[in-house]
Amino acid sequence: MALEVERKYCHVDFARLRARLRELGASDLGRYFERNVVYESDPPALLAQKKLLRLRSCFQAGQAPSYLLTLKAPVSEAKQCAGCKVRREDEVQVSSAETMDAILQGQGFLPFACYEKIREAWQAGSLAVDLDILPFGHFVELEGEVAAIETWARDLELALFRQSTQSYHALYQDWLQNKGLHGGPSFVFSEALRQIWAERLGLGPLPALPDIFRSSAVSCLNEGAGV
């Protein structure tokens, strides 16, 4: 069992943050396009237990696509940390998203939601610093030991921005409510913007959005697209 310890910062100035990361000697690991499909049991039970079953596909220029199956689950109160989100995280790389999808559905897990993002990964000592562009905003995620999160958050001057331990799904629901909008659990880029990002990132054509999500997913007005 592994523990995931993380903290998010909302609507961060990426240009300012990149400059600070370079000043402090962090390593730029590059940007990639990410699509995540969340699965639910039939009948639904995982979300009620605060569990997340997710199949992630990553596309980065010059590399073969990679696929990661992840199960996240709550941890005991004793393992919680103030100001950080802590979850159990078990994950394994798989060779084919299509095959893994068939296996999951064969075991009674059905695609429930889809979300996409552009992730710019940095390594700051032992800490992972991810600059995420989602269809509804810009966010930074720090993942590692609590002490490293606190130290780098201070050195990167992230106290200037709103801190959160919410999931991206919860942040999206908050965004919808603040905008007076209604939408389902999926948040993806428009087809046109997805193509623009593929070109920016030096990728070939990206796989089409699964049919099940084409009519239900909301493009979120693509507010996070401009960085």
Q: What are the tens digits of pLDDT across the range 109-127?
A: 999 999 999 999 999 999 9
Whether 227 is covered by a domain: the verdict is: no
Whether 89 is covered by a domain: the verdict is: yes
Would you say 121 and 21 are in contact if contact means Cβ atoms under 8 Å apart?
no
Q: Which of 190, 184, 168 is nearest to 111 (CA)?
A: 184
Instruction: Enter the tokens of residue 187.
Output: 């948040």
Whether 9 is covered by a domain: the verdict is: yes
Residue 211 pLDDT = 82
Q: What are the tens digits of pLDDT across the range 57-107?
A: 999 999 999 999 999 999 987 577 889 999 999 999 999 999 999 999 999
Residue 111's domain comprises 2-222
Whether 147 is covered by a domain: the verdict is: yes
Q: Which region holds residue 222: left if phi is over 0, alpha if psi is between -120 and 50, else beta?
A: left
* Count of the separate structural domains present in the chain: 1
Q: State which amino acid sits at residue 108.
A: G
Whether 115 is covered by a domain: the verdict is: yes
Q: The CATH number of the domain where 115 resides is what?
A: 2.40.320.10
Q: Which of 144, 119, 129, 157 is nearest to 26 (CA)?
A: 129
